[in-house]
Amino acid sequence: MDVVQATNTEAKQRVQELRQLLQKASLAYYVLDSPIMEDAVYDQLYRELQQLENQYPELVAPDSPTQRVGEKPATQFLSVRHNVPLYSLENAFNIDELKAWFGRWRRQAPNVGEVEYVCELKIDGSALALTYENGILTRGATRGDGVMGEDITQNVRTIRSIPLRLNLETLRENSLPERIEVRGEAFLPLEVFKQINEERQKVGEAVFANPRNAAAGTLRQLDSRTVARRRLDFFAYTLHIPGRDDASIANTQWEALELLQKLGFRVNPNHKLCPSLEDVAQYYEYWDTERLNLPYMTDGVVVKLNSFKLQEQLGFTQKFPRWAIALKYAAEEAPTRVENIAVNVGRTGALTPLAQMHPVLLAGTTVSRATLHNADRIAQLDIRIGDTVIVRKAGEIIPEVVRVLKELRPENAQSFVMPSHCPVCSSAVVREMGEAVTRCVNISCPAILKGAIEHWVSRDALDIKGMGEKLVHQLVDKGVVHSVADVYNLTEEKLCALERMGKKLAQKLVEAIAQSKNQPWSRVLYGLGIRHVGSVNAQLLTQKFPTVEQLAQASQADIETVHGIGEEIAQSVHQWFHISANQTLISRLKDAGLQFAGAVEQTGVSHEHQKFAGKTFVITGTLPTLKRDEAKELIQKAGGKVTDSVSKKTDFLVVGEEAGSKLVKAQELGVRQLSEGELLELLED
């Protein structure tokens, strides 16, 4: 709902819907241990409710989730009162909101000079409060509602990264009070989380939605042996000394982290001391992408004022500390409403249903449509026009709908049925046995032709600059082109006859088309749009088959011998070259001057005998002389494969300056590291 334009009646209805959903989510998460939505989704719905209540104060009610500090803990464990309340953190979702927080605390302390900030990754786990008396762990408690938690000491004792006895030998005598409380986050490493879900799946148990839910569920197991088997980990992030006001032990958050390490705790190794808000912003932006390479989940950055004295001066609001904020990354899941369901026809003829939605901010961009994949997925989701849905954007260009919030389904929601005929050419569609995809099989379908040409001219294929989607559609709709090969018959005169096409632009486009004839055989193969053949597979195939004739004449078994090419890809390639229309296309493109032969085999070295054949590389940091693309090309020419993330399958990590978490992970997994010089030496050997 557009909060700004909402009428009082609409706002009242939406507020009631949001309260019911948020209260149900809180009950499921905190009491029943059965979460129904992701944290990012909860945050977004919560903020929408806040905005509506701010706009219409008369709608605020005592039972609203915005008026509640926390939820009641579950009753399976003994409830205990925290020595110091565990306040939640206020959320910010971008740098502008971080600056607004800065302005708020500055108004509370206008005479404070330059300050330092401590940035720590916000670990996606479960908060714990650990009490130590005379250096011995005496209690471990969950956060609960921030005031009352649950005593889970027996379970906490199973976490090996939590010391049962503090290391006091490195401290001066009597420097630590009799009682201290350590705060931190229990979490499940991604590998462990994956193993747990695989085991649960094998025995028919429901899998955990994410590592955070798994960690919370594990901590609340009544049998501590189950907790021990699941191998929880722990990062400490602060300590409190109840009843003691001075800060002689640690004067700053940075010193507190150092002290925690001395006492025997793990602290997150990626924390940073930042002298300015600009440095905080750089830290936040850096980890926006690098966090994807971490062995655990993180959904943001916690920013704290470093000085404990300033923290004490600023104090707390009713809900949050004024001196800290959680700067979260853009949500990869968000709620919105389905306004219609349309069907798109792709270059392979696949009919893909798309949800047309009320625009929503997702992973930093505004989206208004999401893929529904196919008829089976629509049936599985039971999605209808008018539904409120959760959409996800996890690296995909077009987001996908992951579930329907049926609690908010309106009475007039409309069901959707896949069409029996192509919405573009009206030909009957086909769904082959064993396939989920419905296809238009009319090779003359304008939608298929448009998709084929758009793929051909794309950056990773023939890279014909200036030939965008609108121009391609115009060329097909006006009957100027009927095949990819017709692109090479375009002249300035033909182009100038089109709408919004001047002579200079037409001339540049003709030049770009001519230049595309120099693109290598691997790009031409990729541009042909053969099913399952991406740019990497195209390179592998052209290394093995340096001419189009060799590839066209190869058997499926021959194609399968290429490292990295499986049965499905080999079958698709073999079938494609045995279709007469495709043979005609190849002939026409050869006559136009396209490259259908490569230079790889001219060296006399086959792919199987290249130095890096079968080896996987990852590159991190800034290399001294080579650009990353140059290093990648050298590795690929030697038969190696370059990926973006470190895993057990990685053979080498090429390390430059300012290497990030990929280096840490490589060290943990025992992956061999190479400098640029060592890489070049291996290539020369």
Q: Is 450 marked within a binding site?
A: no
Q: Is 246 marked within a binding site?
A: no
In angstroms, the CA 313 to CA 640 distance is 58
Q: Is 483 marked within a binding site?
A: no
Q: Is 304 marked within a binding site?
A: yes
Residue 122 is a catalytic residue:
yes
Q: What is the DSSP string of 243-269?
A: T----SS-SBHHHHHHHHHHHT----T
Q: Is 89 marked within a binding site?
A: yes
Q: Is 422 marked within a binding site?
A: yes
Cβ-contact 43, 25 below 8 angstroms: no
Q: Is 274 marked within a binding site?
A: no
**Alpha helix (H) ranges present in 532-658?**
535-544, 548-553, 556-560, 567-576, 580-592, 628-637
Taking Cα atoms as reference points, which of 493, 494, 467 lies closest to residue 480? 494
Q: Which residues contact 105 (CB under 8 A, 6 or more apart)?
A: 305, 314, 322, 323
What are the angstrom distances between the C-alpha of 653 and each of 644, 660, 662, 676, 681? 10, 12, 8, 10, 15
Q: At what angle do helices 39-55 and 8-26 cross, to 10 degrees?
A: 150
Q: Is 39 marked within a binding site?
A: yes
Q: Is 143 marked within a binding site?
A: yes
In angstroms, the CA 394 to CA 362 distance is 10
What are the angstrom distances between the C-alpha of 552 and each of 548, 583, 586? 6, 9, 10
In angstroms, the CA 190 to CA 293 distance is 11
Q: What is the DSSP letter of 408?
A: G
Q: Is 606 marked within a binding site?
A: no
**Token reading at 145:** 């509602």
In angstroms, the CA 442 to CA 215 distance is 52
Residue 578, judged by CB atoms within 10 A of its CB (0-12, 13-18, 19+), counts as exposed
**Alpha helix (H) ranges present in 251-336?**
253-263, 277-290, 308-314
Q: Is 17 marked within a binding site?
A: no
Instruction: Classify 593 as helix, strand or coil.
Output: coil
Cβ-contact 161, 101 below 8 angstroms: no
Q: Is 40 marked within a binding site?
A: yes
Q: Is 552 marked within a binding site?
A: no
Cβ-contact 323, 101 below 8 angstroms: no
Taking Cα atoms as reference points, which of 125, 123, 89 lies closest to residue 305? 89
Choosing from 12, 24, 72, 122, the catalytic residue is 122
Q: Is 283 marked within a binding site?
A: no
Count CB neighbours of 518 within 10 A.
11
At residue 616, what are phi and psi to the nearest 5 degrees?
-115, 130
Give me the long-range contacts of 194-197 (CB less than 8 A, separation at least 24). 196/230
Q: Is 42 marked within a binding site?
A: yes
- Residues annotated within the binding site for NAD(+) are 39-43, 88-89, 120, 143, 185, 304, 328
Residues acting as catalytic residues: 122
Which residues fall in the annotated binding site?
39-43, 88-89, 120, 143, 185, 304, 328, 422, 425, 445
> Which residues belong to the annotated binding site for Zn(2+)?
422, 425, 445
